[in-house]
Amino acid sequence: MASMALTTGTAQAIVGGNPASTKDFPWLLSFEQLIQRSDDTVASWAHECGATLVGPNKALTAAHCVPGLIPDRARVVQGRDKTSSRDGKTVKVDSIWSHPEFDGIPANGNDVAVLTLRESLPGPYLTIASADDADLYTSGQQATIAGWGAVRSNGRLSGQLRAAQVSVYSEEACAEDYPTDEPRNGQFCAGFPEGGVDTCQGDSGGPFIVDGKVAGVVSWGNGCADHGSAGVYANVATYAPLLRHQIGDVPAEETVRAG
Ligand code: ARG
């Protein structure tokens, strides 16, 4: 897999990425949940997913990151590159909105959720793609992916933020990789046909950034970075009216487009 990443000629999240700093991704949040593992006596906070700060107290994530989750057992961390450190600022979640038509299966679409935080976090807040951003999804668009997820299929979480670049697929190329799941409704594919660079477990809910906007939310894939299995992302533009309603208006001077 690692050698494949080299053949793509891109920055080698994430699979095939490079270590990154939240200083360069100030709106990227680690979404932690209070988890009781079977061998633990007490529950502890653990990184589960990524999320994007899109308003002072609003974070965009994936619906499959929140089923059955009680807000009390959820929090986000801003500005922590290494999950083992205590850097950055932690804010608890006040309420959780999940797309009402999400059926528990990411491949069926609607894999978007918005967290409302108990306190406001400092900006910048990343701008979400809107209905007139169709150009962000044209085949070959370059995108940035970032997260604390696994660096290979079935691997452990990275523990260190990583980022990489991938390309948007055409609908046809996406359907070739997933002929039965047809990830077309409210979803799109991205990666490289030869594999090597992709999001992976633990990156879910994080942003897929094109032209400085959140164009996608990390949703699913067959394995990670495998040849012929692109990463699949929720299409933010498709859900923009619903998301905007949940996020509310963010003063334009406080929003940014990532550089
Ligand atoms: N479902 C995964 C998560 O919960 C994300 C998987 C993305 N997979 C991929 N091959 N791009 O973290």
124-157 confidence digits (pLDDT tens): 999 999 999 999 999 999 999 999 999 999 888 8
Q: Active-site residue among 167, 204, 219, 229? A: 204
Average pLDDT over residues 190-217: 97
User: What is the number of the ligand 1 atom nearest to the C-alpha of 233?
Assistant: 11
Q: Do both 134 and 211 map to the same domain?
A: yes
Q: Do both 40 and 58 map to the same domain?
A: yes
pTM, full prediction: 0.92
Of 40 and 164, the structure prediction assigns the larger pLDDT to: 164
Q: Do both 121 and 136 map to the same domain?
A: no
Is there a domain that residue 77 lies in? yes
- Give the tokens for residue 54: 């899109």
pLDDT at 205: 98
Q: Do both 75 and 175 map to the same domain?
A: no
Answer whether 88's CB lies under 8 Å from 79's CB.
Answer: yes
Ligand 1 pocket test, candidate residues 65, 200, 227, 229, most atoms within 8 A of CB: 200
Please tell me the distance from the alpha carbon of residue 142 to that of residue 159, in angstroms, as a whole number: 25
Q: Do both 202 and 244 map to the same domain?
A: no
Closest CA to 21 of 157, 161, 206, 209: 161
What's the pLDDT band for 259 if we cut at 50, 70, 90? low
What distance in angstroms lies between residue 136's CA and the mean position of ligand 1's atoms?
A: 21
Q: Active-site residue among 30, 64, 81, 99? A: 64
Q: How many domains does the chain have?
A: 2
What is the CA 69 to chain-centroid distance, rounded?
18
What distance in angstroms lies between residue 251's CA and the mean position of ligand 1's atoms?
A: 32
Structural domain containing residue 138? 128-237
> CB under 6 Å to ligand 1: residues?
149, 198-204, 218, 220-221, 224, 231
Q: Do both 172 and 222 map to the same domain?
A: yes
Ligand 1 pocket test, candidate residues 158, 162, 187, 220, most atoms within 8 A of CB: 220
Closest CA to 158 of 250, 3, 50, 43: 50
Is there a domain that residue 258 lies in? no
What distance in angstroms lies between residue 140's CA and the mean position of ligand 1's atoms?
A: 21
Is there a domain that residue 13 lies in? no
Distant-in-sequence, close-in-space partners of 149: CB < 8 Å, separation ≥ 6: 13, 14, 50, 157, 158, 199, 200, 201, 202, 203, 204, 206, 218
Residue with tokens 């589960």: 48
| Amino acid of residue 30 | S
Q: What percent of the chain has pLDDT above 90? A: 82
Q: Do both 139 and 66 map to the same domain?
A: no
What's the pLDDT band for 40 if we cut at 50, 70, 90? confident
Average pLDDT over residues 168-195: 90
Please tell me the distance from the alpha carbon of residue 110 to that of residue 93, in angstroms, as a whole number: 21
Q: Give catalytic status of residue 245 as yes or no.
A: no
> Residue 98 belongs to a domain with what CATH number?
2.40.10.10
Q: Do both 98 and 190 map to the same domain?
A: no
* DSSP 3-state of 119: coil
